[in-house]
């Protein structure tokens, strides 16, 4: 029988895949406008809930919370920009390097050990990125750098959330992220335009689906071990490849597709190596 944790993560990855598809469909909007709607949908739901449940808004470590929010905003913004420029599956695949950067940062700042097998998994994943970059013509240098920056800052988010995990309520962490994203994105309001026709369903959908993805992902990792969930986490990429083909006509040369597979293999191997 499939566990609740696996069901939760499958729902979460499907929600994130649809959200990313909607983000890509909004390529004519300024990326910071898309960030605004992504953050606003979540903020309008969790902020009243926090007040109702009397969850701390400010938190006990406001400086670290602000840093985590800033790092998350940079990661989200650069990812959305890259997502509007390159193929859906490629952007998500390269961003999966986040756990590698997180492990390396945790090695230096949290003194967490890295096993030899993990270094092998890192090498496999990076080989996959090299193949993907070399054989996917949609990935220009600027987009490649942007999505690498996004992955690096995802790694920073992992380290900061790991530090805050036992010190702050998870809703306080998310709320800081959403509030800062809204405020910073408003600085670019002169570059925005009013959404038209089907864009409205997308801008509303990314906020709702982003929240659904976050809630079910959190519940998944609360009810099941990471090593069990890891393979299912990469269903997001399978969904993305299918949606990219159906909605945007995205296709890959076999070497580029091999690169995507190597990235997934490297990430899953990293999880099992860490558990050992």
- pTM beyond 0.85: the answer is yes
Q: How many domains does the chain have?
A: 1
Q: What is the spatial distance between Cα 79 and Cα 31, in angstroms, rounded to a whole number?
A: 9
Angle at alpha carbon of residue 46, lines to 40 and 47, rounded to 5°? 85
The domain of 100 spans 4-275
Which residues touch 145 (CB under 8 Å, ≥6 apart)? Answer: none
Tell me the pLDDT of the chain (276 aa) as tens digits: 667 878 888 898 899 899 999 999 998 999 999 999 999 988 998 999 999 999 999 999 999 999 999 999 999 999 999 999 999 999 999 988 887 888 888 788 777 788 888 889 889 988 999 999 888 988 999 999 999 999 999 888 878 887 887 788 888 988 999 999 999 999 999 999 999 888 999 999 998 998 898 888 777 766 776 666 767 777 888 888 899 999 999 988 889 989 999 998 888 887 777 766
């Amino acid at each position: 029988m499939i566990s609740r944790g696996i069901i939760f993560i499958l729902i979460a990855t499907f929600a994130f895949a649809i959200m990313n598809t909607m983000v890509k469909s909004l390529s004519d909007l300024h990326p910071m406008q898309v960030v605004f709607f992504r953050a606003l949908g979540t903020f309008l739901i969790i902020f009243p809930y926090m007040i109702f449940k009397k969850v701390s808004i400010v938190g006990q470590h406001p400086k670290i919370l602000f840093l985590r929010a800033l790092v998350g905003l940079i990661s989200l913004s650069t990812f959305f920009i890259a997502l509007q420029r390159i193929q859906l599956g490629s952007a998500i695949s390269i961003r999966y390097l986040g756990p590698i950067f997180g492990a390396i940062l945790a090695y230096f700042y949290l003194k967490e050990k890295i096993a030899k097998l993990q270094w092998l998994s890192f090498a496999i994943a990076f080989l996959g990125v090299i193949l993907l970059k070399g054989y996917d013509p949609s990935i220009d240098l600027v987009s490649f750098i942007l999505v690498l920056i996004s992955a690096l800052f995802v790694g920073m988010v992992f380290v900061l959330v790991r530090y805050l995990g036992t010190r702050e309520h998870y809703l306080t962490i998310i709320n800081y992220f959403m509030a800062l994203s809204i405020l910073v994105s408003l600085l670019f309001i002169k570059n925005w335009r009013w959404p038209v026709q089907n864009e409205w369903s997308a801008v509303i959908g990314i906020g709702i689906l982003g929240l659904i993805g976050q809630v079910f992902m959190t519940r998944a990792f609360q009810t099941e071990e990471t090593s069990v969930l890891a393979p299912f986490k990469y269903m997001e990429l399978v969904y993305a490849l299918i949606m990219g083909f159906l909605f945007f006509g995205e296709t890959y040369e076999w070497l580029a597709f091999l690169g995507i597979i190597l990235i997934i293999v490297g990430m899953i191997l990293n999880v099992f190596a860490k558990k050992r």
